[in-house]
Amino acid sequence: MDRRAELAEALAHVEARVAAACAAAGRARDEVRLLAVTKTFPASDAALLAELGMTDLAENKDQEAASKTREVAGLLSADRARALRWHMVGRLQRNKARSVARWADEVQSVDSERLATALATATRSALDVGDRERPLDVLVQVSLDADPGRGGCPVGDLPALAEIITQMGGLLHLRGLMAVAPLGVDPGRAFERLAVAAERLRADYPEADRLSAGMSGDLEQAVAHGSTCVRVGTALLGGRGLASF
C-alpha cells in the first residue's frame, strides 16, 4: 500500500473512533477537533494528511517544526497551506519563543509566567515584522500528577497564570487548557479532574473554552470528559520508536 492510502485508512479509522466516542458521550462530532501530531514524521506525511482534509497539525519540538512547517507549506497548494493551523504541544524553553511565534498558530504547552511573557514578547516582534498576522492562541498545560519534571502548571496555580495571560492583551489569547494523562493511572480519573479545572476556568474566562485532552491510547475517555481537541500521533502515522516522545 502506498503511504497516501495507508494514511487515508488510518485517518478513517481514527475518525470512526472519534465519531463513536462523541456518540457515546451524547456530543456532536463537531465539538471535537482532531489534531494530527506529526512529530518525527516527514513533511511529506504532514502534507498528505493536509491533502486528505486535515487542517490541524501539531509538533512538539521547535527545532523540528520550524523547518517542517515551511517545507509542508511548499508541498501544498496555496489554499491548503493557508488553511493549515499548526499547534505546539511540547515542552518549550523560553529561548525558543521567538521561533515558535513565527510558525505556531496555537501553543498548548504554556505552563509558567516566564514562558507566557517570553511568548508575548516574541509575538509582538513577529507581528511587528509581519512574520505573523494574529495574536497567539494559548492553552495552559495542566499537570495532573505531582511530577513537575513532566511539565504543566499545578491545578492550584491556574487562576494566577490565567490572569497573567489575559493581561497580555492583544498578544496572547487564552483559549483553554491542555493536559497529558499521567502514566500509570486511569486516564478517565485524570480527565475528570481536568474537566473540573476547565469548567472553573471557563466560568472566569468564557473564551477559554477549549480543552485539549486525549491521545491515541485514551481519546475515548477524554471525549467522555469534555475534550474539544484530541491529539493523535501513533494511531494516524504509526509508531515512533523509543527515543522520540
Residues in contact with ligand PLP by the rule CB under 6 A? 37, 39, 60, 89-90, 180, 215-217, 231-235
User: Smallest gap, in angstroms, from Cβ of residue 216 to ligand PLP?
Assistant: 3
CB distance 177 to 214 below 8 Å = no
Q: 58: part of which helix (H) or strand (E)?
A: strand 56-59
CB distance 226 to 197 below 8 Å = no
User: Smallest gap, in angstroms, from Cβ of residue 72 to ligand PLP?
Assistant: 17
User: Smallest gap, in angstroms, from Cβ of residue 17 to ligand PLP?
Assistant: 12
User: Smallest gap, in angstroms, from Cβ of residue 197 to ligand PLP?
Assistant: 17
Nearer to ligand PLP, 76 or 232 (CB): 232
Nearer to ligand PLP, 119 or 168 (CB): 119
Nearer to ligand PLP, 136 or 180 (CB): 180
The residue behind cell 507566557 is 116
CA distance 144 to 218: 15
- The string of DSSP codes covering 139-181 is EEEEE-SS-GGG--EEGGGHHHHHHHHHTSTTTEEEEEEE--P
Cβ-proximal residue to ligand PLP, closest one: 233
Nearer to ligand PLP, 9 or 204 (CB): 9
Indicate the pairing of strand 56-59 with strand 136-143: unpaired
Residue 156: all three cell numbers together: 492550584
User: Smallest gap, in angstroms, from Cβ of residue 234 to ligand PLP?
Assistant: 3
Nearer to ligand PLP, 47 or 107 (CB): 107
